[in-house]
Chains A and B, each alone.
Chain A
Amino acid sequence: MKVALPVWQGRVSSVFDFAHKLLVIEFEEGREKDRQEIVLVEQSGPNRAAMLKQLGVRVLICGAISRPLAEMINGSGIQVLPFVSGPTEQIINAYETGRLSKPQYILPGFWPGARRGFRRCRGWKGGRG
């Protein structure tokens, strides 16, 4: 299963819409199998959503994201876990251990229902699928 995070200087990028680098991590049986960094050039929302789908990403963990883009990515079957903040490795670890919804990783200021995807991933221990 592939998980993607926009990153900048060792932290999760503040806004996915404007991010310039994407880290794609492949998990197999709960363990990290492979990771690659992809440079995101100036891309529109639909292009970003299409690229995630093309890469086979199943989950996107990101900071802020515009509502239309979040809905577009969700609509293409990719789970979006937005409004996350923190150092990249800590966030990956928190995701693997099902602690991503902890308050220390929450980016302030999001619309109601924006983080509803976290309810689905609660208790997830990583790597299945």
Chain B
Amino acid sequence: MLQYGIMMYMNPEAYKKRDIILDSIADGVFTIDKNWHITTYNRAAEEITGIPREKAIGQICKDVLRASVCETDCALRYTMDTGSPVINKPVHIIDAEGGRKAITISTALLKDDKGRVIGGVETFRDMTVVEELRKQVQDKYTYEDIISRNHIIQGLFNILPQVAESDCTVLIEGQTGTGKELFARAIHNLSPRREKSFVAVNCSALPDTLLESELFGYKAGAFTDAKKDKPGRFALAQGGSLFLDEIGDVSAAIQVKLLRVLQEKTYEPVGAVSSEKANVRIIVASNKGLVELVEQGKFRNDLYYRINVVKLPLPPLKDRSEDIPLLIEHFIHRFNGIYNKNICCLSDDAMAAMLNYDYPGNIRELENSIEHCFVLCQGDVIETRHLPPSMKKSITFKDSDISTFRTLRQTEALMIERALRRNKGNRTAAAKELGINASTLFRKLKGLNIRTE
């Protein structure tokens, strides 16, 4: 740092010119001296890592870049030791916002005019959008893709490793758009079966006869035009996990067959004369309460007890409103990459409308609403006029309209009251939901003069 300062003092023009050149590069660039201290740090590096130049310069590079390889397989160390460059090595970093980012890094030696090695240079490129698209194409979602600070979801996170490890059947219950498949994929990706396939089937999307052959497959000659064997989803998921979505919609006949697979771990493809073994971990999901379906006689109770080994109830978005700003931020970041825009945030009124809305379609609806805003918004800030019509209504028809509040104190009081109401007056649970200490909440209740029963 001192050395950098002295050099800047001795030849300020040359260094200013160099910084201008470096700042015009779209890739992140930093240089280090022989002691691994950062000596230059360009604007793109600031943007990718979220760490400003003045804080980065003089620090050890691994404390700033925070890459997965820094301590075990450092690319710069390799280059400094061997003299060979590293080109486009894919790694992950943790940025200043606490997010995991995919980047590629390239390294080279830094030499003075006499050819002596004086340090190293690392360039890196943000691959978040590519990674995001790859995830969408390959459906490789992990727990990190579930964004929540809600205490119920955090509680589920706590048991997720044990659930994933156990190989038992898991029932995920939640309204449409609450992330049932995301949880199922997270369980699979944490489980010992993660190297094998994850196969998802939406049971309500297929008619009964088709569902049977889709799940169990068929043999040649089983029916007209069945010219050759076709493996079913159970066979495709062999060794891996099978996710049966909307299990509440399957017919009684299929329920019996599923019960048999769960009990005996065997199944028969349509038209087969012998059984086949099913080495498959089954994860099921339903957007309807299966208990009610059992009571109504629409769902077999023996199957229900078979699948209800571990139940993960996912709360609807309206019950985890503390996650809405986090999710909005996540989707803005994501759509900025996809739509090549630079939208920073929502106006206060637009945010108020989004917080006030009930989201019957849950996170999927929120995601689509943000995408709607992205299509219409030409500036940097999403305004109320960019919101979908259903959300605009929420501005006018709601009680205790947050958009009419202008002070932080009023908004804080409203958020606390709502959190207390949602948690039936339980202050510890409300504090947890709000992401603050219980003692901070008590202090705020007193300060804001909010009475609780």
Which positions in A face B, CB cutoff 8 Å?
Answer: 8-9, 13-15, 17-20, 44-47, 49-50, 53, 63-68, 70-72, 75-76, 85, 107-111, 113-114, 120
Alpha-carbon distance A50/B164, docked complex (angstroms): 12
Residues of B within 8 A of A108 (CB): 51, 55-56, 59, 63-64
Q: A64-B66, A75-B158 are in contact. List 19 more A-B contacts (CB 8 A).
A: A15-B94, A44-B161, A44-B189, A45-B144, A46-B190, A47-B190, A49-B158, A64-B94, A66-B144, A67-B97, A67-B98, A68-B98, A68-B143, A71-B154, A72-B154, A108-B55, A108-B63, A109-B49, A111-B98
Residues of A within 8 A of B158 (CB): 46, 49-50, 53, 72, 75-76
Residues of B within 8 A of A46 (CB): 143, 157-158, 160-161, 164, 190
Residues of A within 8 A of B161 (CB): 44, 46-47, 49-50
Count contacts between A and B, CB distance < 8 Å: 104
Q: Provided the pairs A44-B161, A50-B158, A76-B158 are in contact, do residues A66 and B98 lie with their beta carbons within 8 angstroms?
A: yes
B96 and A75 within 8 A (CB) = no
Which positions in B face A, CB cutoff 8 Å?
Answer: 49-52, 55-56, 59, 62-64, 66-68, 70-72, 92, 94-100, 142-144, 146-147, 149, 151, 154-155, 157-158, 160-162, 164, 189-190, 435, 437
7 contacts between A and B (CB under 8 A): A14-B63, A17-B100, A45-B144, A46-B143, A68-B98, A109-B50, A110-B98
Residues of A within 8 A of B154 (CB): 71-72, 75-76
Residues of A within 8 A of B67 (CB): 18
Alpha-carbon distance A57/B158, docked complex (angstroms): 15
Alpha-carbon distance A76/B161, docked complex (angstroms): 13
B71 and A107 within 8 A (CB) = no
Q: Which of A53, A65, A66, A107 has the most CB of B within 10 A?
A: A66
B63 and A107 within 8 A (CB) = yes
Alpha-carbon distance A46/B99, docked complex (angstroms): 16
B97 and A45 within 8 A (CB) = no
Q: Provided the pairs A66-B100, A68-B143, A72-B157 are in contact, do residues A17 and B94 lie with their beta carbons within 8 angstroms?
A: yes
